[in-house]
Structure 1
Amino acid sequence: MNRTAILTAALFTAGAGLAAAGYRPYFWGWAVIGLIWISAVLAGRRRMALQLVWLSLALLAGNGCYAWADARLASVVAPPSANWNPAADEAGAELSGRLDTPVEVDGDRAVFYMQTEEWSWADGAAVRPEGERVYVTVRLREQPEQEVAATWRRGDRVQLTGTVKTPEPARNFGGFDFREYLRKKDVHWMVTVKGASAVRVSPPGRWDAARLLRWNDHIREGAGSRLASLFPGDEAGYMKGLLIGLREDLDPERFRNFSRLGLTHILAISGLHVGVFLWAVTALCRRLGVTRESAARLGFWTIPLYVVFTGSSPSVVRSGLTAMAGLYAARKGWLKDGLSLLALALLGMLLWNPLFITDVGFQLSFLVTAGLLAGVPAITRLLQGIHPLWKSSIAVALTAQLVSFPVSVYYFNQFSLLSLPANLLLVPLISFVVTPLGYGALLLSFLWPWAAKGAAAFISFLNRFTFYTIDLSEWLPSMHLSWPTPTFLWIAAYYILLAWILLQAGVLKQHRELERQRIYLVPDGAGFRRRGVRMTALAAVLWAGCLLYGYAPAIWTERDTGTVSFLDVGQGDCAWVRTPDGKHILIDGGGTVSFRKAGEEWKERREPFEVGRKTVVPLLKKRGVHKLDTLIISHADTDHIGGLQAVLEEMQVGRILFNGTLKSSPGAVKLFQTALDRGIPLIPVQQGDIYTVGRSAVWSVLSPLQEERGAQVRLLEEQNDESVVMLLTMLGKRFLFTGDISGEQEKVLLSRLSEEEDAPTLDVMKVAHHGSRYSSSGDWLWYWSPRLAVISSGKNNSYGHPSPLTLERLAETDTSVYRTDLQGEVEFSVRRNSLFVRTRLTGRYGK
């Protein structure tokens, strides 16, 4: 094993990772290298000094390469004006260039990346883009435009007129940052075009190199069409993703089910696919009488073609480079161990593009492969009394799970206890049966279609078994765990302790085997074993403690702090409360209101944006919410409950408090039916009810009034004035949640409240109905006189919320206002006798 190559690659990668995390040790890094060298030389260890300096230089080189590559990610296009505001401004422009990617047509939208060559702002100012790459969205107006957009191909010359703006950053703490995602692709501008008629497309020249890319896209599309003709329904999309890396037609719900079980790696073209391809090339060459050396040479030169054909994802690039390095090394007799080959592939990819280090596919691909190479032999030795075939399968699956776990929970915030058995059962089936047969059926479809149909029928049977097995896991929601996003320190501790356990256990195992052969390496064998057992047990206990802490860190670190967060869910309401003793409450869940008309079904997308699945649930998981103790539904309008369907489907909910009415809308009916099917208690509330959550959060219900609600649950279409109004008292601070009540309902409530007692001191008020002019009357605001107010409304919403009149009334009561449309998520940290606030976009923080 070439340890220098492995350590060099590891430290280069570590340096790039530190730079990606924000650690860039320039001056003191060189100082440390100098100290290391001087110390080693003075100690008479010149060889060691050179090795240490080399490894330190590898660390700094990785750090510097990433910093250099990251610094180059800057736009060369100046904004149209000096006072351009990236958060709000947009401007018209005319751009020309060429299509840089295939076009994705989905419903009323066509999306592609474009390499610009000319750029003119609407005011006439022209700039030289010098290859500026932009993200283009074409809003299709008529259904025939779908067919027009589908004819656009990579490499086409494009001229278009549209609106240019900068990408949106994350609007919630820990949310997906689209601006940073595009920046990593060196994209800094988004262009929105209205209608395919605003895009003028012409093919590239006859000898244009872009024609090679178009040819490759054409072949992939042809292969996809063949698979669509062989397999029924959503199986076609599944097989396209599995065999050729086309995932556009993969059913989103199917992909989520794979993801919950930790099986998405099956859908990534990786080492197995490259291995099957090489086997096929070798077998064909032997059939034709080609020598082994010539077959290996042919395989070497055809691997890049296969990598490009399957989409050039990081996993297949890694596999391709490793296979090519292995073939070349085998021919030359160099570097015969797998870890060294993997290290060379890692160095090669990072030198080509250091930004790969931030790609989750890249990270998982190399981590899992390195873990399999280093860990499978160690774990296999520890498994006793198991059939060799099962022992190998268990060792591979267990190693992959252990190695990938921290990265998976860091990015996806979920882990299934069924993941290991699912991988043991399905990965061999899909990897060694379905995938080779799928490639065989695809090839047969060009030669003997009838034979391809027969093979596809058998594969379809296996696919149905796979889907049925995965769907069964959805009946056990408690087996799917949510994990908060871990820190880098926790991830490092996890790997160090895991390696310690395996090393200690391996040493003990080897010692016992030698003693059975009457080979004694130490005088006191019994004492050695006892010390080894104690150290292994200690490492195991520390590792288990690390897992427990990672699962619920807030219990250990935030016992004296509560949190009230008003999430930015666009034009809707959603608030999350965490009590100091770790209880979780969700008030509403946002929702997207659809304005589709009859005959516009073609505009529906394969996976339309759904705020619950895309925003609310991921944020709750990132924050370590394993179970919602209480879900409060203020009322059943779509902008308050639309996101809750995903919450009920993906999270455990203890109880639901609601206003005691139902609404006939499909979303409301489905939501309440889901709650009933899952056995979640539905509790109608009324004025005077008090609910305690944990030891320090008390909820007092102010509305609906008792006579309004009545004794029976009734159907009610107009829900605003029946909103649940609740007062939260936590650690001495008070928050008022008002739903969408109108000024008229405020008067009714004031008449009741003024009869009982003076208004309690109010710290924060959630302004009713997104700041509508018809809510938050002057009397209502003067009665409560809140110190702070939060308005939950969407950026540039069509309703004009919040109303200037409402803002004026809040200013008259000397109330500080926070707005999700301007500041993103608004988070209040509550401690005894203190209240801190921060916002995602403006970063304000203070008492």
Structure 2
Amino acid sequence: MNRERFWMLLALTCAALSLIVYRPNACTTFLFLLVLSGCLTIRVKKDLLKLGLFSALFFGYIFLDHATLVKQRNMPVGEGCYELVVQPDDFSVNEEGIVRGKAKLARGMPVYFSYRAKNQKSLDDFLMDDGPLNLSANGELKRIVPATNLFQFDWVAFMESKHITHQIVVRDVSVKAARPSNPLQACFFQLRTWHARAETWTNSLPNPFGNYTKALLLGGKADELYEENPKISELGLVHLFSLSGLHVGFLLAAVSWFGQRLRIFKEMTSVFQAVALPMFYLFTGSPPVLVRAVVAGEARLVKESYGTVIDSQVIWAWSLLGGLIVTPQILLTLGGQLSFALTLAVTMGKDLNYWQKGLFLSSVTFPIIMAWQSTWNCWQSVANILAVPIFSSLVLPVVLLGLCLGWVPGVLSLSNVIVWLFDRAVYCLGMLPGNVVLGAFSWPVLIVLFTIPFCFLYQRRLVKVGLTVSWCLLLSGSLLAVRFNRQGEFTTFDIGQGDAAVLIEPMKHSVTVFDTGGKVIFGHTRKMNLRKKAPAKGSDEAERQKEEKKKEGLARSVIVPYLHARGVSKIDTLSLSHQDQDHIGDARVILECFKVNQLVMPAGMVDGSAFKKKIQPYLRRTKVIEATDKVKVENCPLRVLYPFNKGEEKNEDSLAWGGAVGGRVFFTAGDLDKAGEKKLAGVQPAFHPEVVKFGHHGSKTASSAVVFAKWKPKIGIVSAGRNSRYGHPHQATLDTAAKYHMIVYSTQRQGMLRYVYVKNHGHFEVTLKHDPTGP
């Protein structure tokens, strides 16, 4: 057995073991069995024994790591005083005085912490020094809340990949400079301090040059970069801005160039490069995806220095093993999957020409991106083919030269112009029509779509044609399966304190969204002085977009991903029950992300300030319908039951809908009060809903006991935030439900609530089995 195959099988076996240990499910089990079947083809017993021994050692390593993680998950929570050590580049502050980031408890356990500064002085305590800090914090230690909606970003899984399972909500804190306990820790503290100073210094640079410098050379968070230009992520160019082999290769080349100019012996330059790589890794905050590039860089240095023949696939296998040892869950992150998949594709497709390689890389990344999101920009392939060479040969050198020679008059401005031109070109390409909603594919389909491009290599022409046809047929079949789904659903989103639901009829015959939720802000938002940590201002449009996003609730992270996963790109009817922020605050997000045919509101709402400020500017070609019970809304399975006349957009004027869905009669009415319910029941005596969404989030102002005595509903739905400051749902509402033996589903305890049906038969599904804030 050759060396290349052995190391590849060992790396893939360890990868499969890590997946099945940390995320046991049908997909990871299948991948493990697939890799195991490949290992069993080894005919040489000695090689099989070595493979088994190394795999067993790795399994023992990750088993202990997983056991530690499980023990950490189950540690007691509650109020207390906690000693924390915070690195200066591991936390962020905003102008509202909120400090949040990663820290370590005294015993070494990593946690996430958040603190709202009471005044400028308490915020200045965090800004007084640019070195590591010791925090004596009084607060509550609790588990990180998991994703409570389907297709919502899983914050728990992401944080656990960093070995963080808990967060501390700090109320009072004492801050002082941290002191190292040994020389090694002193060196580590100094590197992180330099990194924090460098990040702070980039805030004084003009944008987009400053954002590019922070992301490309310092490994800093690229949030500001993506806010300024969201098309970078939409076009799949995020990998260019994540520290990787591209940056490490550039760093090694730069060191080699300077060594030659300074006439330093090549051997000394190689030693300096070998030491610089791990130092660079520590300096940038030890990002997991950088491990692969560091290991690969060190292997190439050995290869060049000693003339050792090391195959590129062996280097890839070593880098994967190194990444798994440092971060065992690296392949459970999007960054890790893209990093290793792309480098493997580059390694195996080295004989392809320029355009073939671009298409090959796009076909490899397509199923990975589809596993994390349900949209695909058709310009991604073109963007990567054109951007990668420009980025590596122009943008990276310009950023480095601008950084080194910024003191020379005109150099910094010229560098910023060049970076701006590249940034605008990406933005303009992303603005072209081509962002397509595909829907969520099943994991077997994604695995096959990922595997076929690799099988395509080194095959005869006829086989390549067959594989291409198979890939296209599988993709087309998956798209049809999403589009023509026989199931319908009435889904209530868990969007905190607010209300939002969607009714999708079978075969996408119609899609109706009821309210959108929204961020409710209490009191005046104060602004504090961030001193040098304040990021540089972007363009006026970028600043406006940033301010708009601060006002958003959870629609962009909850409603939009879910509808995209269901293959929804067009909404037939958007219903807004009344003017309250927690019902219509995120209407802008829905109107921007989807084509909305008609907007239905209670008659009189168009005259209010809420409509004119929050909705009207974003309508585009959406038809507005002012509804009463006399209005027939086309292409909507429910009918308007209330109001009877034009109102003043108050709670008592809320829009009420009712009708049959999947064999049950539903009723939903925003914040309609008891008086409105009684009027409706009097005018509609034959209406008897089986499923009722409690009005006003379960408040005692709604859900009239008199009306429920007539209706006798069987199931109640509560849409309210956890630890609601309003006390929703009120005990009086729950008592009314208990009196009539209703089954009550609540987003507080069970997350997203789905009524799934086929024809006239359906059932309820919940996302969580218990309250996520519980023990």
Q: TM-score, normalised by structure 1?
A: 0.81
Aligned to 1:427: 388
Aligned twin of 1:746:
677
Residue 452 (structure 2) pairs with residue 497 (structure 1): yes
User: Partners in 2 of 1:290 and 1:205 — Cα distance?
Assistant: 35
Shift of 1:586: 1.6
Q: Helix, strand or coil: the match of 1:74? A: helix
Which of 482, 501, 507 is residue 437 of structure 2 equivalent to? Answer: 482
Whichever of the two has the greater Rg, that structure is: 1
Q: For residues 577 and 58 of structure 1, what CA distance do their matches in structure 2 show?
A: 52
Aligned equivalent of 1:548: 476
Q: How far 1:341 moved relative to its partner?
A: 0.9
Query: Which amino acid is 1:641 matched to?
Result: I
RMSD: 3.2
Which residue in 2 is equivalent to 1:344? 318
Residue 12 (structure 2) aligns with = 10
Query: 2-side partners of 1:67 and 1:667: how far apart?
Result: 55
Matches within 5 A, 1:162-177: 162-177=139-154
Match of 1:577?
A: 503
Alpha-carbon offset, residue 660 of structure 1 = 3.6
Counterparts of residues 4-403 of structure 1 (less than 5 Å): 4-22=6-24, 47-48=43-44, 51=47, 65-75=61-71, 91-99=78-86, 102-106=90-94, 107-117=96-106, 130-151=107-128, 155-195=132-172, 198-205=173-180, 207=182, 209-232=184-207, 235-247=209-221, 250-254=224-228, 256-378=230-352, 380=353, 392=354, 394-403=355-364
Distance in 1 (alpha carbons) for counterparts of 2:351 and 2:651:
64
Which amino acid in structure 2 is aligned with residue 219 of structure 1? W
- Residue 636 (structure 1) aligns with: 579
Distance in 1 (CA, whole Å) between partners of 2:348 and 2:72 is 45
Alpha-carbon contact 1:235-1:460 (below 8 Å) kept: yes
Maintained 8 Å contact 2:588/2:618: no
Deviation at 1:805, TM superposition (A): 1.1
Q: SS of the residue aligned with 1:438?
A: helix
Tell me: CA distance 1:666–1:209, structure 2 relative to 1, closer, same or farther (3 Å).
Answer: farther
2:638 maps to amino acid: W
Contact preservation (8 Å) 1:95, 1:161: yes
Of 744-753 and 564-573, the range deviating more from structure 2 = 744-753
How far has the Cα of 1:364 moved from its partner? Answer: 0.9
1:332-384 CA distance string (max 9 Å, x none): 33343322211111112213332222122121111101111212423x2xxxx
- Residue in 2 aligned with 1:737? 668
| AA matched with 1:111 | R
Name the SS of the counterpart of 1:684 in structure 2.
strand
Count of residue pairs brought into register by the alignment: 746
Query: In the alignment, is residue 455 of structure 1 matched against residue 416 of structure 2?
Result: no
Is the alpha carbon distance of 1:12 and 1:593 closer, same or farther for their aligned partners in structure 2, counting shifts above 3 Å?
same
**Which of these residues, 354, 370, 393, is aligned with residue 409 of structure 1?**
370
Question: Which residue identity is paired with 1:268?
Answer: S
What's the CA shift for 1:91?
Answer: 2.9
Question: Taking structure 1 as reference, are residues 34 and 643 closer, same or farther at Cα in structure 2, changes over 3 Å only?
Answer: closer
The answer as to whether partners of 1:103 and 1:154 remain within 8 angstroms in 2 is no
The AA in structure 2 aligned to 1:739 is G
Does the C-alpha gap of structure 1 residues 546 and 35 become closer, same or farther in structure 2, counting only changes over 3 Å? Answer: closer
Matched, 1:687 2:629: yes
Q: How far 1:21 sits from its partner (Å)?
A: 3.6
1:221-264, CA deviations, whole angstroms, 9 ceiling, x for partnerless residues?
Answer: 333344343424x5423431132122266155235331112121
Instruction: Note if 1:820 corresponds to 2:763.
Output: no
- Seen in structure 2, the aligned counterparts of structure 1 residues 58 and 221 have a Cα distance that, compared at 3 Å, is closer
Quick one: structure 1 residues 688 and 474, their matched pair in 2 at CA, closer, same or farther if it must change by over 3 Å? farther
Cα offsets for 1:285-315 (capped at 9, x unmatched) = 1112123333223222212222223333233
1:498–1:444: structure 2 CA closer, same or farther, 3 Å change rule? same
Q: Which amino acid aligns with 1:22?
A: P
For the residue of structure 1 that corresponds to 2:247, the secondary structure is: helix
- Quickly say closer, same or farther: Cα 1:572–1:282, change in 2 above 3 A: same
Deviations 1:720-776 (A, max 9, x none): 22222111423332211111111122222223213xxx224x231111111111111
Paired residue type of 1:708: K
Does the CA-based 8 Å contact 2:8-2:313 persist in structure 1? yes
The answer to whether the aligner puts 1:708 opposite 2:646 as a matched pair is yes
Kept in 1, the 8 Å contact 2:439–2:567? The answer is yes
- Does residue 790 of the first structure (1) align with residue 753 of the second (2)? no
Say whether residues 1:774 and 2:716 are aligned partners: no
Q: Are 1:413 and 1:622, in contact at CA under 8 Å, matched by a contact in 2?
A: yes
**Residues 642 and 654, structure 2, Cα contact 8 Å, conserved in 1:** yes
SS where residue 250 of structure 1 aligns?
helix
Residues 509-548 of structure 1: pairs in structure 2 closer than 5 A: 532=462, 535-548=463-476
Shift of the 257–829 alpha-carbon distance from structure 1 to 2, 3 Å rule, reads same
Asked whether the 8 Å contact 1:642–1:667 carries over to 2, the reply is: no
Any unmatched runs of 5+ in structure 2? 535-545
Distance 2:24 2:234 in 1: 31
Distance in 2, Cα, partners of 1:838 & 1:438 = 51
How far does residue 627 in structure 1 lie from its aligned partner after superposition? 2.7
**Greater shift in the superposed pair: 634-643 or 618-627:** 618-627
Report which stretch shifted further, 569-578 or 221-230.
Answer: 221-230
2-structure distance, mates of 1:75, 1:99: 23
Give the % identical residues. 24
**Structure 2 SS opposite 1:2:** helix
| Separation in structure 2 between the aligned mates of residue 313 and residue 666 of structure 1, nearest angstrom | 47
Letter in 2 for 1:222: R
Task: Specify which of 604, 609, 615 is matched with residue 558 of structure 2.
Answer: 615
Alignment CA distance shift 1:63-1:152 (3 Å): same
Residue 640 of structure 2 aligns to a residue whose secondary structure is strand
SS at structure 1 position matched to 2:414 = helix
Q: Decide whether the 8 Å contact of 2:131 with 2:193 is kept in 1.
A: no
Contact 1:36 1:49 in 2 (8 A): no
Tell me if structure 1 keeps the 8 A contact 2:364–2:453: no
Residue 237 of structure 1 contacts residue 247 of structure 1 at CA under 8 Å; is this kept in 2?
no
Which gives a bigger RCO, structure 1 or 2 (Cα 8 Å, sep 6+)? 2
Counterpart-to-counterpart distance in 2, 1:291 and 1:5: 33
Distance 1:672 1:147 in 2: 39
Contact kept, 8 Å, 1:238 with 1:247, in 2: the verdict is no
CA–CA distance in 1 between the matches of 2:615 and 2:502? 20
- Answer whether contact 1:687 1:701 (CA < 8 A) is retained: yes
| TM-fit CA distance, 1:567 | 0.8
Alpha-carbon distance in structure 2 between the residues aligned to 1:324 and 1:426: 27
Q: Aligned pair in 2 of structure 1 residues 396, 34: CA closer, same or farther (>3 Å)?
A: closer
Whether the aligned pair in 1 keeps the contact of 2:499 and 2:719 (CA below 8 Å) is yes
Alpha-carbon distance in 2 for matches of 1:34, 1:296: 41
Cα distance in 2 for residues equivalent to 1:492 and 1:428: 29
- Segments of structure 1 that go 5 or more residues without pairing to the other structure are 41-45, 81-89, 118-129, 381-391, 509-531, 710-715
Q: What amino acid sits opposite 1:440 in the alignment?
A: L
Which residue does 1:386 correspond to in 2? none
Distance in 1 separating the partners of 2:62 and 2:72: 20
Distance 1:375 1:636, change over 3 A: farther
1:101-132 deviation digits (Å, cap 9, x = unpaired): 63321232112333223xxxxxxxxxxxx433
Counterpart Cα distance in 2 of 1:699 and 1:330: 71
Instruction: With the length of structure 2 as denominator, give the TM-score of the two structures.
Output: 0.88
Distance 1:50 1:458, change over 3 A: same
- Which sits farther off after the overlay, 213-222 or 148-157? 148-157
